[in-house]
C-alpha cells in the first residue's frame, strides 16, 4: 500500500523516443528492424537488434539518451 512500484517503460515507447532523438542511421535501421526480428527470430532476435542499435548510439547524449539507453539495455539482457 505504501510501496512505490515503478513499471518499466514499454519497449515500443523506448524505441519511439530513441528514433526521435538518435540521428545515427545504423542505430535507426536496427531499431526499425525490431518488429521483423521478433517475427523471424523471436525474443533473441530483438535482443540482438537492440545490442547492435546501442553500439551505434554512442553519439547520442543527454539525460533522455541515458534513460532510453538504460531501458534498451534492460530489454537486451
For the chain (length 77 residues), average pLDDT per consecutive 10? 65 97 98 97 97 97 97 96
Residue 5 confidence (pLDDT): 58
CB atoms within 10 A of CB 64: 14
CB crowding 3-31: b at 16 or more within 10 Å, else e: eeeeeebebeebbebbeeebebeebbebb
Rounded to two decimals, the pTM is: 0.88
Residue 8 confidence (pLDDT): 79
Amino acid at each position: 500500500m505504501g510501496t512505490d512500484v515503478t513499471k518499466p517503460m514499454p519497449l515500443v515507447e523506448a524505441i519511439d523516443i530513441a528514433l526521435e532523438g538518435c540521428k545515427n542511421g545504423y542505430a535507426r535501421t536496427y531499431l526499425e528492424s525490431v518488429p521483423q526480428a521478433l517475427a523471424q527470430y523471436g525474443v533473441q532476435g530483438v535482443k540482438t537488434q537492440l545490442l547492435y542499435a546501442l553500439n551505434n548510439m554512442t553519439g547520442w547524449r543527454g539525460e533522455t539518451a541515458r534513460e532510453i539507453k538504460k531501458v534498451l539495455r534492460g530489454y537486451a539482457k
